[in-house]
């Protein structure tokens, strides 16, 4: 059963609504791009975006003002994990966005085979760490927010992932 | 023997990994935060309850809230890609500031907490009602419906839509939801569902979407908060 919203005063409700709208507008494209890059089909990104913002709407009071984007990435990562093991619904919040994204043209990357192979030889955790840095431009302390770990742990994990990627790049033929 | 900790090597790694990213060419209508698609999603999210849901999807199933009723759901046809959208939200009565027709402004409606337990004195919320010129859909959602929706009925009529929207007192968890829908043949009325925000028997509806070129008829009942002393409609309706 839904817990009662804490019957906020109208002022509080306005502040929360304004905060959410600001977050939504500021992060919509980043989150959509984040989701698109990680979904097999562009339509699937619609659910990730809609569900992530829905969570943000419900928890707007918990989102640190200066970390909204990172907070959304963190939630979206969980959404993506859930998507991989759940059947999605038909008509819902994301219906319209899904329709539109179905028209999205996807240009497959052009990368030397050995680079792709080296990257795919890494664990999924290493890959995602490196993607967050290269694709989303996150620094180590920002990774910590997304991954919900300490900054120190994030630095160590990133360092190791880089080391393993460098090693994999040096031996392309072994993974062939 | 490695120099991989140097900044240059990191940059080179990042460059290679960036090459691995697929490129997406998204239609402007979906890409722009102020475009019609993003604005509609924002509007729908902000009219859902802020109460915490169970993070699951519960699709409609037989034997639940529509049992025994004649009703039809149309599969959303993709007739109006890129179209603008109109949003109509039923609002409270007695809000003197309620405009009859208001563009949904960026400052938007405040949070809707109407799916929480029934409150005998729901707080007033501004009306959110807008019909965007050139729109091809009307979206009807409920902010906190105690109102007689006659005014919005009239708006729908202005668009030549044979759609009757009424409200009925319901238990708290069904406030703002579609509790009954009857549609004519070929009626393309689509329910908007908020998975994870559902009643115990799987009603996840938070609104409906109707194409403006709708030629059929529809009768739709939304749940509203009971007035003091009023008994909510039972599950059987």
Contact B37 A96 (CB under 8 A): yes
Helix (H, G, I), strand (E, B) or coil at B116: coil
Residue with tokens 């169970």: B54
DSSP B31: H
What are the structural domains of chain A?
9-107 (no CATH), 109-176 (1.10.10.10)
At B115, the pLDDT band (50, 70, 90 cuts) reads very low
One DSSP character per residue, B178-230 reads: EEEEEE-TT---EEEE-TT---TT---EEEEEEETT--SEEEEEEEEPPPTTP
Buried b or exposed e, range B72-103, using 16+ CB within 10 angstroms: ebbebeeebeebbbbbbbbbbeeeeebeeebe
In chain B, what percentage of residues exceed pLDDT 70?
52
Q: pLDDT tens across A20-36, in order? A: 999 999 999 999 999 99
Closest by Cα among B222, B233, B217, B32 to B112:
B222
Return the bridge partners of B164, or none.
B219
Q: pLDDT tens across B120-139, in order? A: 333 333 233 344 445 667 77
pLDDT of residue A27: 96
pLDDT of residue B182: 81
B residues 34..73 contacting A (CB < 8 A): 34, 37-38, 40-42, 44-46, 48-53, 55, 57, 59, 73
Contact B147, B92 (CB under 8 A): yes
At A172, the pLDDT band (50, 70, 90 cuts) reads low
Residue with tokens 């990357």: A109
Question: What is the C-alpha to C-alpha distance for residues A133 and A27, in angstroms, rounded to an integer?
Answer: 17
Count the neighbouring beta carbons within 10 Å of the beta carbon of residue B229: 6
Average pLDDT over residues B200-220: 79
Here the ipTM equals 0.86
Q: pLDDT tens across A3-14, in order? A: 444 444 667 778
* Of residues B14, B23, B194, nearest to A93 (C-beta): B194
Mean pLDDT is highest, among A127-131, B1-5, B36-40, for A127-131
Q: What angle do CA B95, B101, B104 make, to 5 degrees?
A: 90
Distant-in-sequence, close-in-space partners of B156: CB < 8 Å, separation ≥ 6: B88, B138, B163, B165
Mutation target among B111, B193, B223 for the A interface, most CBs of A within 10 A: B111
Q: In chain B, what residues touch A39 (CB-CB under 8 Å)? A: none
Q: In angstroms, what separates the C-alpha of A64 from chain B's closest C-alpha?
A: 18
Q: In chain A, what residues touch B14 (CB-CB under 8 Å)? A: 130, 133-134
Hey, what are B179's tokens? 């509790």
Q: In chain A, what residues touch B76 (CB-CB under 8 Å)? A: 91, 95, 99
Q: At what angle do helices A10-38 and A68-83 cross, to 10 degrees?
A: 60
pLDDT of residue B143: 58
Higher pLDDT among residues B41 and B62, named by residue: B41
Contact B187, B72 (CB under 8 A): yes
- Range with the lowest mean pLDDT among A95-104, B55-64, B204-213, B223-232? B55-64
Domain ranges of chain B: 26-50+69-105+121-224
């Amino acid at each position: 059963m839904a817990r009662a919203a804490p019957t906020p005063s109208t002022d509080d409700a306005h502040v929360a609504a304004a905060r959410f709208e600001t977050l939504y507008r500021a992060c919509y494209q980043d989150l959509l791009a984040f989701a698109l890059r990680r979904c097999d089909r562009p339509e699937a990104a619609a659910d990730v975006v809609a569900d992530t913002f829905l969570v943000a709407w419900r928890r707007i009071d918990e989102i640190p003002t200066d970390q909204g984007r990172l907070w959304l990435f963190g939630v979206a990562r969980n959404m993506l994990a859930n998507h991989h093991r759940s059947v999605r619904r038909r008509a819902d919040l994301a219906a319209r966005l899904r329709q539109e994204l179905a028209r999205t043209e996807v240009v497959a990357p052009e990368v030397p085979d050995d680079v792709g192979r080296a990257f795919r030889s890494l664990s999924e955790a290493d890959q995602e760490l490196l993607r967050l840095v290269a694709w989303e431009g996150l620094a180590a302390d920002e990774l910590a927010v997304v991954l919900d770990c300490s900054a120190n742990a994030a630095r160590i994990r990133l360092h190791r992932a880089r080391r393993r990627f460098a090693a994999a790049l040096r031996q392309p033929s072994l993974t062939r | 023997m490695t120099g991989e900790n140097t900044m240059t090597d990191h940059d080179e790694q990042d460059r290679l990994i960036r090459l691995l990213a697929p490129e997406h060419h998204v239609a402007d209508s979906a890409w722009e935060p102020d475009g019609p698609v993003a604005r509609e999603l924002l509007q729908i999210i902000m009219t859902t309850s802020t109460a915490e849901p169970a993070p699951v999807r519960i699709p409609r199933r037989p034997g639940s809230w529509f049992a025994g009723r004649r009703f039809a759901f149309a599969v959303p046809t993709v007739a109006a890609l890129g179209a603008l959208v109109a949003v109509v939200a039923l609002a409270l009565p007695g809000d003197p500031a309620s405009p009859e027709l208001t563009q949904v402004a960026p400052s938007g409606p405040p949070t809707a907490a109407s799916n929480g337990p029934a409150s005998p004195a729901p707080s007033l919320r501004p009306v959110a009602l807008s019909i965007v010129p050139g729109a091809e859909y009307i979206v009807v959602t409920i902010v906190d419906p105690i109102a007689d929706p006659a005014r919005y009925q009239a708006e729908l009529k202005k668009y030549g839509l044979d759609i009757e929207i009424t409200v009925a007192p319901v238990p708290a968890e069904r406030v703002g939801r579609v509790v009954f829908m009857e549609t004519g043949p070929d009626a393309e009325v689509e329910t908007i569902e908020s998975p994870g925000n559902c009643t115990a028997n799987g009603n996840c509806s938070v609104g409906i979407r109707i194409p403006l070129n709708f030629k059929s008829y529809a009768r739709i009942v939304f749940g509203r908060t009971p007035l003091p002393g009023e008994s909510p409609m039972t599950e059987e309706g």
